Amino acid sequence: MKIGEKDFAQYWEIIKTPTLVLIAWSVLGLIVSLISFSLYMKIFSSIAGWIISIAMLAFAGWIAVKDHKENVGVAAWSGAITGVITGFVGAILSIIMFYTVPQLYELAIQSAVSQGVDAGTVRSILSIGIYIGLITGPLVSGLIGAAIAAIAGLIAKKV
C-alpha cells in the first residue's frame, strides 16, 4: 500500500522504534493504572506523556531525514503514520481503561460536578466521547505527528 512516496513497509523501517515506544508507553500506562491509580496519576497524567510523544514523533521525522536520507515530506508522513497508529492504539486502551479503571473517569466527573455540571451529563459525554476517540484520536495524533516530524525533519536537514 502506497502512502505518499513510499510503501508502508518502507515507512515501517523509519517509524518502527518510535511507534513501538509510544505503544509500550500506553500499554504500561494501562498496566500501572490497573495496579495503582495514584501511581498512574503521578506518572502518566503529567507532562511526561506529552514529552515522550513529542520526542518520539520528532525522532520519526529526524531519522527519516538523517538516517534514511529522505525528504521532509517523507518525514511528515512518517510522523503522521506514527500518530495515526499510536492514536488508534491509545483510543482502544482508553476504552479499556474506561471500563477497568473507573476512578479515572470518576475524577473527571467530580471535577465537572464541582463546577456545577450535572454528573449524568458528564457520564453520557464521557461514554460517547471515548468511542468518538476511535476516529478523532488517530486523526488528531496524525496531524500533530506530521507537523512535529516535519519540523524535526527540517531541523535535521539544516544540521
Return d(Cα 2, Cα 62) in angstroms, integer: 21
Contact 86, 139 (CB under 8 A): no
- Please write the tens of the pLDDT for every residue from 85-116: 999 999 999 899 888 988 878 887 888 888 88
Question: Is the confidence at residue 38, as pLDDT, over 90?
Answer: no
> Is-contact 68 131, C-beta < 8 A?
no
User: Could you give the number of structural domains in the chain?
Assistant: 1
What rounded mean pLDDT belongs to the chain? 92
State which residues form the domain around 58: 2-158
